[in-house]
């Protein structure tokens, strides 16, 4: 029997901390806890967890400090617990190296889906063939098959899809998209990105009224959904 | 100009009258001289420098003609009288000037006093305004920090409650009654959470802390986010989504508009009979190319309490005679809060909300929002 993945939960509120640990254990993970960034990093060094779940606003040493400290030594997936309206904090956390965020108050199902997506990403070998529900992306042959149909994209759309799909389950910020797909070409704005994501979605999504692969993260960017919620 | 001529005329008249009086009273030369001097002084004080100067000249001439021999001519026999007359002229001119300057200085002093007074009043008003602004800023800061604290103190327990409900749900597996109670708690907790979200959003907008931040947003994303907020609704009835192919993105604050749509779906869910679908539709505005209509359509009893298109709180508050008594007492207030919030949030997003009767029965809640102006895609 494979060892259950270990998740480190860092939150200053005991109700949330213990509640999260209990739900993670119920879902088959092993959980350990800490109440601020400093204690979190000590526990991280001591236990070497497979994933870190951390609050941002904490007394003494906050979540940003913890992300920086962990990124100094490891690439362990980090999921941030954010609050409504905290988009600048989300972007800052992503820029510091966090992999994803959930917004309080979140549903347990949503949180577990994010945790699964991150663990899957960190475990997988780099590959050129990406498989999702009803969707196969062959990066080498630049071939995309959705359901039964082959979908053709412009080079820009293909580059966007590649970036998003390689980061499946992880939000990609608008700045990252401009830097990677447009190589930071002058005159490229957030609206340029939105327009191309729009055409990408119209071609990719079987029902554009109900996008199932690419969804927006308001003010942050876009996310490729690894598994439907 | 006329004013000045009048003054000069009056000055001449005064000198004339004075001369006639002095002649008739047989006054001697020095007395007449002092009287002329006095007259020039008053005339200068009253009429200014020009009047004073003209009066001086006239007085000198009259003094010469009527009091220095030979009388009734401008010529003067005694050289000492030349000295007297010249002295008189110089004195009267100097007196006029001094009087006028004194008058001007008094006037300036008065004006300066008024200016100083006005400045003092300005300063006082400025200080008052500054104190007022300071108080406002402090109250805003207080409001903001209070809001942040309240927000944190409400969201944290709600998140914890959500986690505990999960534990209960597992415990309830296979126990029908407990499962039902747990589901009810979950539903109510979710509603509480949405309402708190609404109120915090309104309070933030009100405090000016979170001005709406519009960005181009696809209607499909708004509908999806709203649906994720209402898992119980999507689980208990069909919710269809249709976005027209040519429907532009909207330029809105996504958080605000998702809250509006959530409230409208909640309303429709409460009003519509079980088994009927709720339809979410996005399309270009039929007449205005710069607007987009997002609609939430239900097959409920319609909105008899809202006979007019516009959502009007006064109209809504009145219970409808056609709705059942129970409906009117239990549903109207709840509908009211949700719709009121939806309308405020729509307004904050440069939009408007109207409820219209749906053909074939039911209600259409129509959200009218600004379209985003995105550049067209390159044809690569």
Interface contact flag, B375 A195, Cβ < 8 Å: yes
**Cα(B292)–Cα(B372) distance, integer angstroms:** 9
Chain A nearest-CA distance from B137, in A, is: 22
Give the CA count within 13 Å in the CB-facing half-sphere of B180. 2
Give yes or no for a contact between A170 and A99, defined as CB atoms under 8 angstroms apart.
yes
Length of chain B equals: 380
Interface contact flag, B375 A105, Cβ < 8 Å: no
Mutate to test the interface with A, among B147, B152, B220 (most CBs of A within 10 A): B220
pLDDT of B340: 81
Interface contact flag, A198 B231, Cβ < 8 Å: no
Interface contact flag, B243 A209, Cβ < 8 Å: yes
Chain B nearest-CA distance from A125, in A, is: 32
Give yes or no for a contact between B380 and A154, defined as CB atoms under 8 angstroms apart.
yes
Interface contact flag, B155 A22, Cβ < 8 Å: no
Scanning every residue of chain B, which has its alpha carbon at the shortest distance from the alpha carbon of A11? B156
Instruction: Summarize pLDDT for A133-156 with one digit per residue, the tens.
Output: 889 999 888 899 998 899 999 999
Interface contact flag, B374 A195, Cβ < 8 Å: yes
For the whole prediction, is pTM greater than 0.95? no
Of B379, B331, B110, B224, nearest in space to A209 by CA: B224
Q: Which residues of A touch B (CB under 8 A)?
A: 13, 15-16, 19-20, 22-23, 26, 57, 83-85, 104-108, 110, 154-156, 190-192, 194-196, 198-199, 201, 208-211, 215-216, 218-219, 229
Chain B nearest-CA distance from A191, in A, is: 6
Interface contact flag, B152 A83, Cβ < 8 Å: yes
Give yes or no for a contact between B369 and B292, defined as CB atoms under 8 angstroms apart.
yes
Cis peptide before B129 (omega within 30 of 0): no
Size of interface A-B (CB pairs under 8 A): 109
pLDDT of A125: 62
* Interface check B81 vs A, CB under 8 A: no
Mutate to test the interface with B, among A171, A209, A215 (most CBs of B within 10 A): A209
- Chain A contact set for B376 (CB, 8 A): 195
Give the CA count within 13 Å in the CB-facing half-sphere of A135. 22
- Chain A contact set for B377 (CB, 8 A): 195-196, 198-199
Chain B nearest-CA distance from A9, in A, is: 14
pLDDT of B152: 76
Question: Cα–Cα distances in Å, from B215 out to A196, A219, B129?
Answer: 16, 7, 37
| Residue B164 main-chain phi, psi, to 5 deg | -65, -35
Give the CA count within 13 Å in the CB-facing half-sphere of A120. 17
**Cα(A76)–Cα(A74) distance, integer angstroms:** 6
* Strand partners for B369: B292
Sequential DSSP letters for B263-326: HHHHHHHHHSPTT--EEEEEEE-SS-TTEEEEEEE--SS--TT--SSB--HHHHHSPPSSS-HH
Q: Where are the alpha helices (DSSP H) in chain B?
A: 2-24, 29-47, 49-67, 79-171, 176-207, 219-229, 231-236, 254-271, 313-317, 325-348
Give yes or no for a contact between B313 and B291, defined as CB atoms under 8 angstroms apart.
no
Mutate to test the interface with A, among B150, B294, B377 (most CBs of A within 10 A): B377
3-state secondary structure chain A: CCCCCEEEEECCCHHHHHHHHHHHHHCCCEEEEECCHHHHHHHHHHHCCCEEEEECCCCCCCHHHHHHHHHCCCCCCEEEEEECCCHHHHHHHHHHCCCEEEEECCCHHHHHHHHHHHHHHHHCCCCCEEEECCEEEECCCCEEEECCEEECCCHHHHHHHHHHHHCCCCEEEHHHHHHHHCCCCCCCCHHHHHHHHHHHHHHHCCCCCCCCCEEEECCCEEEECCCCC
Interface contact flag, A16 B155, Cβ < 8 Å: no
pLDDT of A99: 93
Interface contact flag, B162 A108, Cβ < 8 Å: yes
Strand A100-104, strand A78-83: pairing? parallel
pLDDT of A30: 95
Give yes or no for a contact between A226 and A168, defined as CB atoms under 8 angstroms apart.
yes
Per-residue pLDDT of chain A (229 residues; tens, 9 = 90+): 568 999 999 999 999 999 999 999 999 999 999 999 999 999 999 999 999 999 998 888 899 999 999 999 999 999 999 877 678 889 999 999 999 999 887 888 889 988 998 888 766 566 788 888 889 999 888 899 998 899 999 999 999 999 999 888 889 999 999 999 999 888 899 999 999 999 999 999 999 899 989 999 988 999 998 764 3
Q: What is the DSSP letter of B146?
A: H
Scanning every residue of chain A, which has its alpha carbon at the shortest distance from the alpha carbon of B171? A26
Interface contact flag, A210 B241, Cβ < 8 Å: yes
pLDDT of A215: 92
- Chain B contact set for A12 (CB, 8 A): none
Per-residue pLDDT of chain B (380 residues; tens, 9 = 90+): 678 888 888 888 888 888 888 888 888 888 888 888 888 888 888 888 888 888 888 888 888 888 888 888 777 778 788 888 888 888 888 888 888 888 888 889 999 999 998 888 888 888 888 888 888 777 777 777 777 777 778 888 888 898 999 899 888 888 989 999 998 898 888 888 888 888 888 877 776 666 788 899 999 999 999 988 887 788 889 999 999 988 999 999 998 899 899 999 988 998 889 889 999 999 999 999 899 999 999 998 876 554 444 444 433 444 444 433 333 334 444 456 778 888 888 888 888 999 998 888 889 999 999 999 887 755 44
Which of B156, B200, B255 shows the shortest C-beta gap to A16?
A: B156
Of B170, B175, B259, nearest in space to A112 by CA: B170
Give yes or no for a contact between A35 and A13, defined as CB atoms under 8 angstroms apart.
no
Strand A135-138, strand A78-83: pairing? unpaired
* Strand partners for B367: B294, B353
Question: Cα–Cα distances in Å, from B70 out to B78, B82, B123?
Answer: 9, 12, 68
- The set of residues, in sequence order, having a beta carbon less than 8 Å from that of B372 and lying 6+ positions away, is B216, B217, B248, B249, B250, B251
Interface contact flag, B377 A15, Cβ < 8 Å: no
pLDDT of B191: 84
* Strand partners for B278: B239
* Strand partners for A53: A9, A79
Of A77, A44, A87, A92, nearest in space to A170 by CA: A77
Using CB atoms within 10 A of its CB, is residue B163 exposed (0-12), middle (13-18) or buried (19+)?
buried
Q: What is the DSSP letter of B217?
A: E
Give yes or no for a contact between B355 and B363, defined as CB atoms under 8 angstroms apart.
yes
Interface contact flag, A216 B218, Cβ < 8 Å: yes
Is the ipTM above a cut-off of 0.95?
A: no
């Amino acid at each position: 029997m494979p060892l259950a993945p270990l998740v480190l939960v860092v939150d200053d509120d005991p109700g949330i901390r213990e509640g999260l640990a209990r739900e993670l254990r119920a879902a088959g993970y092993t959980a350990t806890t800490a109440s601020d960034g400093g204690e979190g990093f000590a526990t991280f060094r001591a236990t070497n967890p497979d994933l870190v779940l951390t609050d941002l606003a904490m007394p003494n040493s906050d979540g940003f400090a913890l992300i920086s400290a962990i990124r100094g030594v490891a690439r362990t997936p980090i999921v941030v617990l954010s609050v409504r309206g905290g988009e600048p904090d989300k972007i800052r956390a992503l820029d510091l190296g966090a992999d994803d965020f959930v917004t309080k108050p979140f549903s347990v199902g949503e949180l577990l889906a994010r945790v699964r997506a991150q663990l899957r990403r960190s475990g997988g070998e780099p590959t050129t063939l990406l498989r999702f529900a009803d969707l196969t992306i062959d990066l080498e042959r630049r071939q995309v098959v959705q359901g039964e149909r082959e979908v053709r994209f412009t080079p820009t759309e293909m580059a966007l899809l590649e970036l998003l799909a390689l980061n499946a389950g992880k939000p990609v910020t608008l700045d990252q998209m401009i830097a990677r797909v447009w190589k930071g070409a002058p005159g490229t704005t957030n609206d340029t990105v939105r327009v191309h994501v729009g055409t990408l979605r119209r071609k990719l999504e079987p029902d554009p009224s109900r996008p199932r692969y690419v969804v927006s993260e308001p003010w942050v960017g876009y996310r490729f959904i690894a598994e439907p919620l | 100009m006329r004013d000045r001529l009048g003054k000069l005329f009056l000055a001449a008249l005064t000198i004339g009258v004075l001369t006639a009086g002095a002649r008739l009273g047989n006054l001697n030369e020095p007395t007449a001289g002092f009287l002329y001097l006095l007259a020039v002084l008053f005339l200068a004080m009253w009429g200014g420098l020009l009047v004073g100067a003209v009066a001086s000249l006239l007085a000198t001439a009259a003094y010469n003609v009527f009091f220095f021999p030979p009388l009734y001519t401008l010529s003067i026999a005694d050289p000492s009288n030349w000295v007297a007359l010249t002295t008189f002229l110089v004195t009267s001119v100097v007196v006029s000037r001094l009087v006028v300057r004194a008058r001007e200085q008094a006037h300036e002093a008065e004006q300066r006093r008024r200016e100083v007074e006005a400045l003092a009043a300005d300063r006082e008003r400025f200080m008052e305004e500054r104190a007022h602004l300071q108080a406002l800023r402090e109250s805003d800061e207080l409001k903001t920090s209070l809001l942040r604290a309240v927000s944190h103190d409400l969201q944290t327990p709600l998140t914890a409650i959500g986690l505990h409900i999960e534990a209960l749900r597992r415990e309830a597996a296979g126990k029908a009654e407990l499962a039902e109670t747990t589901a009810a708690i979950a539903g109510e907790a979710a509603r509480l959470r949405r309402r708190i979200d609404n109120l915090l959003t309104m309070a933030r907008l009100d405090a000016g802390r979170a001005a709406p931040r519009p960005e181009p947003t696809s209607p499909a994303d708004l509908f999806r986010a709203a649906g994720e907020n209402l898992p119980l609704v999507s689980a208990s009835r069909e919710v269809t989504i249709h976005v027209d192919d040519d429907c532009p993105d909207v330029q809105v604050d996504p958080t605000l508009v998702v809250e509006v749509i959530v409230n409208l779906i909640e309303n429709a869910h409460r009003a519509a009979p079980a088994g009927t679908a709720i339809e979410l539709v996005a399309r270009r505005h039929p007449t205005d190319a710069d607007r987009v209509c997002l609609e939430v359509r239900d097959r409920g009893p319609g909105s008899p309490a809202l006979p007019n298109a516009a959502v009007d709180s006064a109209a809504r508050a009145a219970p409808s005679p056609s709705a059942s008594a129970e409906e009117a007492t239990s549903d109207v207030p709840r509908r009211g809060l949700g719709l009121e919030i939806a309308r405020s949030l729509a307004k904050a997003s440069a939009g408007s909300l109207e409820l219209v009767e749906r053909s074939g029965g039911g209600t259409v809640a129509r959200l009218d929002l600004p379209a985003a102006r995105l550049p067209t895609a390159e044809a690569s």
